[in-house]
């Protein structure tokens, strides 16, 4: 009977050992699966972080380019408005204003001519006076 009890105990211990071996195998398998999931999670986190960094960089570049483009559009728009304003300002001048401008040009030319002739007369007068002085000095 002791032998039978001992055999039963050995069978039970062998069953427990085999059950433990199976449990250890399952735990090892679960550990490997957890490691793979953890590694995959880490890789995906790194990839997602890099993608977010790239997206942020693209958004920064878009903001800079948009700002430049808006400034260029604004400058171009302002230039076109100035051109239209200048063109329209010239078109608005009436015939009377054109005649007045022409008269002002003629008066300006006449004044310029008169100043030129006045300077010539002044030079001639200076030459005449100098000539008279030289003649007077040579006669004495």
Residue at token pair 């878009």: 62
pLDDT 10s digits, 69-123? 777 877 888 888 788 777 766 666 677 777 877 888 888 788 788 777 888 888 8
pLDDT 10s digits, 39-54? 988 888 888 888 888 8
Residue at token pair 């590694």: 39
* pTM for the full predicted model: 0.41
Q: Identify the three-state secondary structure at position 127.
A: helix
Please tell me the distance from the alpha carbon of residue 73 to that of residue 76, in angstroms, as a whole number.
5
The dihedral built from the CA positions of residue 30, 35, 38 and 39, taken in this order, carries a sign that is negative
């Amino acid at each position: 009977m002791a032998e039978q009890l001992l055999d039963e105990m050995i069978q039970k211990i062998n069953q427990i050992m085999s059950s433990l071996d199976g449990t250890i195998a399952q735990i090892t398998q679960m550990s490997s699966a957890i490691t793979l999931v953890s590694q995959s999670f880490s890789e995906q986190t790194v990839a997602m972080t890099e993608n977010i960094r790239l997206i942020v960089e693209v958004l920064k570049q878009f903001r800079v380019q948009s700002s430049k483009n808006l400034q260029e559009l604004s400058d171009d728009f302002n230039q076109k408005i100035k051109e239209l304003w200048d063109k329209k300002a010239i078109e608005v001048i009436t015939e009377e204003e054109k005649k007045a401008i022409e008269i002002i040009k003629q008066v300006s030319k006449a004044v310029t001519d008169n100043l030129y002739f006045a300077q010539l007369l002044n030079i001639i007068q200076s030459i005449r006076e100098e000539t008279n002085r030289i003649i007077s000095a040579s006669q004495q």
